[in-house]
A = this chain, B = another copy of it.
Amino acid sequence: MADTLDSAATFSPLRWRGDTLELLDQTLLPTREEWLTCNTVEEVAEAIRRLSVRGAPAIGVAAAYGLVVGLTPVPAEGELADRFAEVAELLLSTRPTAVNLRWAIERGRELFARHREAGAAAARAALLDWAKVVHAEDIETNRRMGEHGAALFEGEQRVLTHCNAGALATAGIGTAIGVISASFARGGVAMVWVDETRPLLQGARLTSWELQRLEIPFKLVTDSSVGALMSRGLVDGVVVGSDRIAANGDIANKIGTYTVAVLAQRHDVPFYVAAPLSTIDRETATGADIPIEERDGEEVTDVFGTRVAPAGTEAFNLAFDVTPAELIAGIVTEEGVLRPPYSESIRQAFARAQP
């Protein structure tokens, strides 16, 4: 109990208890609320791979704790370096697109390099302290993003979000949903359009679940209804999360995000992205350089165990797509709302964050 952090959200999808990482198994929501206990790094990796924990910031925090789990029990001194390298590599291999994962592992590697000489137990202890900082930082980062983004919507607007970029995707109040809930509290948002987000239905399953808990009115639609909603003038704004932002402001996010952005442009609806600076990868020049994960076609041909396509049907299942910077009205970060041209505003935000 002592080892849990208060997320300031009404719930948090991950917690450190004793020497284990506990994850709310998001594949079972909203039907069942069950916690996974990860005693080994293999269990952490598998939980990330199968989306029991998902959302770029939450994956980053889970990976930080995963490094600690991988050094539990503490390895023999002679095996420490190899073991750590193996653990870091395993976690890094789980999912290619979300850069927060790589960001956490790289920071963990630097920290380990500084502490390994002190011995295995000390290195592990330093990593645990650091993972808790990463966890606490994410909560604080979410809070600040909500503050900055709350002013984007004025006067009871109807805001659409895609996938789930809420508390379930982070350690705190969420990125896109953090902005929405902060704005809702001020009367800027009246209701939320939730698109279901096939194939894994994070909108229908997770965002609906969160908005119910937050008591924010919402309506669920299929992904392909967004065009009709906009052409009927029913959407005033869009805010989504991101899994990686390139140096020029192009973003990767859940498949379907690009389509929403194209529709928003056609209908003069402002399209915002909410993501912490840890999601911005300045080493990735443009969206074309972001690796896009392709997942198993069965996620499309089977819906929760019901086969929907004929046997032998092949599906092409991209997990993410890229939305070019030109379609994005603003990127909400903990350092404020970045505006085009993003190459410049991103550079300035990092300068403010690391003076």
Contacts and interface: CB of A to CB of B under 8 A. Distances in A.
Interface stretch (A61-69, A85-93, A300-308): A300-308
A112 to B, nearest CB: 37
A208 B316 contact: no
A315 B224 contact: no
A208 to B, nearest CB: 5
Contact of A256 (B205, B225, B304, B309): B225
Contact of A224 (B197, B228, B304, B306): B197
A220 B301 contact: yes
Work out how many copies of this chain go into the complex. Answer: 2
Contacts of A199: 222
A225 B255 contact: yes
B196 A313 contact: no
Given A221-B317, A225-B318, A315-B220, A300 B204 contact: yes
Interface in A84-126: none
Nearest to A310: B30
A219 interface: yes
B220 A258 contact: no
A216 interface: no
A10 interface: no
A322 to B, nearest CB: 7
Interface string A309-345: 1101111111001100000000000000000000000
Contacts of A313: 204, 208, 212, 218, 220
A309 B208 contact: yes
What is the interface residue range for chain A against chain B? Answer: 35 or more
A201 interface: yes
A226 B140 CA distance: 36
A312 B231 CA distance: 27
Contact of A227 (B219, B258, B310, B317): B258
A308 B195 CA distance: 13
Contacts of A229: 316
A227 B327 CA distance: 14
Nearest to A217: B314
Interface of A: 30-31, 195-199, 201, 204-205, 208-209, 212, 218-229, 231, 255-256, 258-259, 262-263, 266, 292, 297, 300-301, 303-310, 312-318, 321-322
25 contacts: A196-B198, A196-B309, A198-B223, A198-B224, A199-B222, A201-B303, A205-B308, A208-B313, A212-B312, A220-B301, A220-B309, A220-B313, A220-B316, A222-B223, A222-B255, A224-B224, A225-B317, A227-B256, A231-B258, A231-B321, A231-B322, A259-B259, A262-B266, A304-B306, A306-B306
CB-based closest 9 A-B pairs: A224-B256, A227-B259, A228-B321, A30-B310, A227-B258, A223-B224, A220-B315, A198-B222, A204-B309
Given A198-B198, A218-B313, A224-B256, 4 more contacts: A204-B313, A212-B312, A223-B224, A304-B306
